[in-house]
Amino acid sequence: MIRPASEATSHARPSAAQPRAQGWITGVEHYENFPVGSLLVPSALRPAVVAIYRFARYADDVADEGDAPAEQRLAELERLRRALGGARQDAHPVVDALREQTRGHRLSDDEFLALLSAFEQDVNVTRYRDLQELLDYCRRSADPVGRLVLQLFGARGPRTEPLSDAICTALQLINFLQDFAIDWSRGRLYLPLQDLNAAGLDETGIDAAVRAGRAPAELRNLFAQQATRCGTLLESGAPLAGLVPTRLALELRAILAGGRRILEQFERDGFDPIARRPKIGWRDAPALIRLMFVKPARP
């Protein structure tokens, strides 16, 4: 998910089942690659973008952060689902803040329910048999945010939505590569088992690689194949920047540049996110500017 620059973080990490009274999980520090919610977003839309992010970030943290048992995580996600249904007895502060924006901009609850279904899946599902299963997860965990932003800008339609989905799914898959070792430490593997087995690898080998702090050649080759897939998918959505309003186009160019830069770092480091996790910092500014203006293929 995308973190607005205005939000502060703390190093404390409370249990996901113990948010403050206002309903937020607080104190969880997040690193984000892609700056949605920046000054490029018109001021009239910025509160809605931030509300969407905060809902998604909170629900994602419920699924991922802290040490709460699965039952408590699922109960809190269900509480969010009921609150979206609108019953007064099921009110939730996170949804209350979101509701002000969904009403004002006529946003459907369908995309938020899709996000919740993905986060609920995260609680119980830790392996994906093939690419199609993983893409189905991405359709619910990433694509809804892009669709909502398109709708806010009055740019959602049959031409733009598939391109947005391609970008969002690609960014999600890039993030899986970036956080490979982190996810493994949490018991999760976002690498299709079919691809893993086709490369002659298994989970024992992954565990040994993470313990050793570096990936062997055969695993790096598999990472390289996954990165190529991500890059192809990302670029297939790049023409979207030519179909949306100027300020959203600039925002999209920045987001695309972030994804491209992570993939560049990935290749530079020998396709080994275990040894070195790709991460964007201030030194990447020249590269990001260069990558903002890569000419996309015609849609």
* Confidence tier at 223 by pLDDT (50, 70, 90): very high
Residue 280 identity? I
Quick one: average pLDDT of 287-299? 81
- Side chain identity at residue 243, one-letter code: L
Tokens matching residue 251 = 């925002």
Give 141-171 pLDDT, tens digit per residue. 999 999 999 999 999 999 999 999 999 999 9
Q: Please say if the pLDDT value at position 37 is more than 80.
A: no
Cβ partners under 8 Å of residue 247, min gap 6? 40, 41, 42
Percentages helix, strand, coil for the chain (3-state, rounded to 5) are 65, 0, 35
> Average of pLDDT values for 182-206?
96
pLDDT at res. 94: 92
Among the listed residues 231, 228, 229, 224, the one whose alpha carbon sits nearest the alpha carbon of residue 270: 224
- Mean pLDDT over 217-234 rounds to 97
Distances (CA, A) of 31 to 3, 35, 57, 278: 8, 11, 12, 12
Residue ranges per structural domain of the chain? 37-124, 127-294
> Quick one: pLDDT band at residue 298, thresholds 50, 70, 90?
low
The stretch 76-84 carries a mean pLDDT of 94
Burial string for 177-189 (b: 16+ CB within 10 Å, else e) reads: bbbbbebbeeebb
pLDDT attached to residue 100: 87
pTM: 0.87
Structure confidence at residue 4 (pLDDT): 34
What three-state secondary structure class fits 199? coil
Given a cut of 90, is residue 257 above it in pLDDT?
yes
Residue type, 201: L
Element (H, E) at 67: none
Enter the DSSP assignment of 296: P
User: Does pLDDT of 271 surpass 90?
Assistant: yes
**What confidence category does residue 30 fall into, taking pLDDT thresholds of 50, 70 and 90?**
low
CA distances from 2 to 9, 54, 70, 74, 255 (A): 14, 9, 25, 23, 10
pLDDT averaged over every residue in the chain: 87
Domain spanning 127-294, CATH class = mainly alpha
- The CB density around residue 11, as the number of other CB atoms within 10 Å, is 7
